Structure 1
Amino acid sequence: MSFKFNVIDDFDFKNKTVLIRIDINSPVDPNSGVILDDTRMKLHGETIKELSEKGAKTVILAHQSRPGKKDFTTLEQHSKVLSKNLNLEIKYIDSIFAHDAINSIKSLKNHEVLLLENVRFFSEESLSRTPKEQSKSILVKKLSPFIDFFINDAFAAAHRSQPSLVGFNGVIPSLAGRIMEKELKIIQNALENVKKPCVFILGGMKADDSIDVMENVLKNETADFILVTGLVANIILLSAGIDIGDLNVKFIKDKGHCKMVKKSKKLLKNYKNKIIYPKDVAIEDENGERVDVAIDKIPNRPIFDIGIESIKDYAKIIRNAKTIFANGPAGVFENPKFAMGTEDILNTIANSNGFSIIGGGHIAAAAVSMGFEKDMDHISSGGGACINLLAGKKLVSVEALEKSAKE
């Protein structure tokens, strides 16, 4: 894995109009419109401030949620939070490429920053097509005549092929922002110079992605041990011939993971000693209390966490690891009764001597909310993009940047 794209250091941005795509998709209270977490905005602050200091006229493209969801809203509140975090005025306009937006872009002065409206208000943004096709989108045609450089800093969305992410690359000079550059370098370096023993902790609800990661890192001998939790653990237990109860089997089938069960059986056959699954799990009893049960005594009740004995076993392996990748929580950590697995695993990682990378999404949110943020070597800003890299898949936005660099 080696990336060859242009970065901010390669160009002079003074008096230039720069379009930057960032990912500030944030939890929003659907009733008040108040942003509940500004982590991603703080992360992108480095690129935005640097461009402003270099004398650029900066135009920001971003999205919030998707049509039909309760937190699908304008970016007006985001501009206020960004302004506060960066101590820099972030102008906002409720337009993407209409006359008002174009006039605002044209009237920008050096060092000024303008945030355009939620790009997903534009229906074409929802279409997943090739970068070449996206370069012909209305969004690109309307904005590109007024832009000197395009910067993609949206690592969290780097696995998506949408106009705002890949459409500008073949039209105007394009480069990676600081977040994109940092994420790719850290993950690439960790995978290429992995220190042994290397442990992957895979859980959460995106079981198909996690099992793809498992297959990749076992085949290329990156991983010494795979510790499974969450839905991934349930699939592995089922694949190992464990009776996990009809309710849990039905949940796996309803999620469309039957193919993953077949794949897991093959992985268990070929890498039996490297895939470590729970010896006990946590369920909720008739009184609504947490009960830990051995895997040969699982009743027909939903599994919500790994059990205490499993937590102890996993902790021993994690403590001896030199490299640790963790993706996905161990259970329903939002419920305090079933947060034990996630909390103890994160605590063990935080106190270990190994180099740790925490995937984005729910596991990153859990690490922050539980106070482990400063004890991790790297918390990724993008769950989907991070897990795609770990699975050995290419990121379409990164490929587009590399192609632009060649051209």
Structure 2
Amino acid sequence: MAKKTIADLGDLKGKKVLIRVDFNVPLDKTTGEIKNDRRIRGALPTIQALLKAGASIIAMSHLGRPSGDPVKDKLLLKDRVATRLGELLGLPVSKAGSTVVGPDVTAAVAKLPPGGVTILENVRFDAREQKNDPEFAAALADLADVYVNDAFGTCHNDKDASMVAVPAAFKAAGKPRAVGLLVAKELEIIEGLMGHPKQPLFAVMGGAKVSDKIAFINALLKKVDHLLIGGKMTYTFMKAQGVDVGAMKIDDAEVAAAKALLPHVGAKITLPVDSLCAKSDDLSSTKVFEGPIGAGYEGVDIGPKTLALYAEKIKTAATVIWNGPVGWFEKPAFSAGTKGVAAAMAESHAVTVVGGGETAEAVEQFGYDAKMTHVSTGGGAFLAYVEGKKFASLAQIDDK
């Protein structure tokens, strides 16, 4: 996808750049403190490059899902994000105002000097954001000379004004639109993966729901040599095969989705040969099952034989794509599978790509992120792009 990048924008000295970033960081539900700043760090190269070019930065992003409850929504204010961005940049970062757009925001942005950085309030505090509202978009477009999309994690959100209607307003005003370094890298990596991957190509698929990833799985099956399954979807496949899954609760719709894929099991799809399970009423009581899961137990991780099998397979791969943890990795006692897959990928000689979301968090948590070829910043966007979906947000960016 040949889209203009910030390198194609020409002289930016004295220009104001409105950059859509993905600062939807995980927060502590009680204090609102930032638990992981990976998404903020991901935008730094683009912001720093624009500042070096003499531009000033107006960053905008959503944060969480505002409910309209002022007490709960207070945690979703952008003050902490502004502070953390400033710490990472080593520069003061202001918040432009108490609303997303308005006279105070316009005035604050007008005073922003070259090299200055400000951040707008949570765009989802304005109901027009998720309606692609043209009036809201025009107000945002009036703030800057250039639009940059560096929010790969939200590129699939085609109804968000900040992703679609705002760059459309820039086009109407004859102002340039480009992607940032992060988005450009994501597109290059994923397009290379699906277009000309090094063979053999393996994929590891975890997570909970088969139905949510059915299109992604089908897209992968056309490309991969082997698809290794883990996570809760393991037990969905087991149930679809008529195997007892103990106390696991699995929707009929999930079973139906897995049944459609059963012809591939044993050929391209490999299922776990054992599972670490815990008692539903006592998570400290665990047992490894090969085959049917005993009454009262729930699967919480792939078993040791499965991990060894998957690690051996990964050693033979030239490319490995991973999306979805293979166990309840947040619990140390149930993290061996996910940590082991991460280690196997990190130690391999393959091109290794991690597909965002919880998987990226797990890889970082275990200290393997720097040993991967690429860790995507987008969970849902990564899935959708691999599936071949067209993004209206990217269609709005100027072609080279």
CA displacement 1:222-241 (0-9 Å, x = unmatched): 10001111122122222223
Secondary structure of the residue aligned to 1:289 is strand
2:134–2:169 Cα contact (<8 Å) kept: no
C-alpha distance in 2, partners of 1:202/1:297? 21
Secondary structure of the residue aligned to 1:356 is strand
C-alpha distance in 2, partners of 1:18/1:71? 27
Write the letter of the residue equivalent to 2:21: I
Q: Measure how far apart 1:95 and its partner are.
A: 2.5
Secondary structure of the residue aligned to 1:194 is coil
Change (3 A) 1:223 1:37: same
Match of 2:212 in 1: 209
Secondary structure of the residue aligned to 1:111 is coil
Match of 1:34 in 2: 33
Q: Measure how far apart 1:182 and its partner are.
A: 0.8
Secondary structure of the residue aligned to 2:163 is helix
Write the letter of the residue equivalent to 1:90: V
CA displacement 1:302-324 (0-9 Å, x = unmatched): 21111111111111111111100
C-alpha distance in 1, partners of 2:74/2:311? 37
Q: Measure how far apart 1:291 and its partner are.
A: 0.9
Q: Measure how far apart 1:300 and its partner are.
A: 4.1
Secondary structure of the residue aligned to 1:28 is coil
Q: Measure how far apart 1:338 and its partner are.
A: 0.9
Q: Measure how far apart 1:106 and its partner are.
A: 1.6
Match of 2:270 in 1: 276
Residue 345 (structure 1) aligned to one of 331, 335, 341:
341
1:261 aligns with 2:262: no
What does 1:79-94 align with in structure 2 at a 5 Å threshold?
79-93=82-96, 94=98
Match of 1:144 in 2: 141
Write the letter of the residue equivalent to 2:128: E
Q: Measure how far apart 1:390 and its partner are.
A: 2.2
Which sections of structure 1, spanning at least 5 residues, go unmatched?
128-133
What does 1:192-341 align with in structure 2 at a 5 Å threshold?
192-218=195-221, 220=222, 222-245=223-246, 247-248=247-248, 251-253=249-251, 258-270=252-264, 272-285=266-279, 288-341=284-337
Secondary structure of the residue aligned to 1:243 is coil
C-alpha distance in 1, partners of 2:30/2:258? 42
C-alpha distance in 1, partners of 2:209/2:91? 38
Q: Measure how far apart 1:260 and its partner are.
A: 4.3
CA displacement 1:110-129 (0-9 Å, x = unmatched): 221111111111112233xx
1:196–1:321 Cα contact (<8 Å) kept: yes
CA displacement 1:19-59 (0-9 Å, x = unmatched): 10001111222333322221111111111111111111221
1:331–1:339 Cα contact (<8 Å) kept: yes
Match of 1:180 in 2: 183
Write the letter of the residue equivalent to 2:336: M
State TM-score, norm by structure 1.
0.90
1:122 aligns with 2:120: no
Q: Cα RMSD over matched residues?
A: 1.9
Worse-superposed segment, 22-31 or 343-352:
22-31
C-alpha distance in 1, partners of 2:136/2:313? 50
Change (3 A) 1:159 1:196: same
Change (3 A) 1:125 1:146: closer
Write the letter of the residue equivalent to 2:278: E
Worse-superposed segment, 340-349 or 63-72:
63-72
Write the letter of the residue equivalent to 2:360: A
How many residue pairs match? The answer is 386
Change (3 A) 1:299 1:307: farther
Q: Measure how far apart 1:394 and its partner are.
A: 2.5
Secondary structure of the residue aligned to 2:272 is coil
2:356–2:382 Cα contact (<8 Å) kept: yes
C-alpha distance in 2, partners of 1:208/1:391? 14
C-alpha distance in 2, partners of 1:263/1:367? 28
Write the letter of the residue equivalent to 2:164: V
Worse-superposed segment, 144-153 or 379-388:
144-153
1:311–1:345 Cα contact (<8 Å) kept: yes
C-alpha distance in 1, partners of 2:399/2:167? 9
1:381 aligns with 2:377: yes
Q: What is the percentage of aligned positions where both structures have the same residue? A: 30
1:229–1:330 Cα contact (<8 Å) kept: yes
Match of 1:130 in 2: none
Change (3 A) 1:370 1:70: farther
Match of 1:131 in 2: none
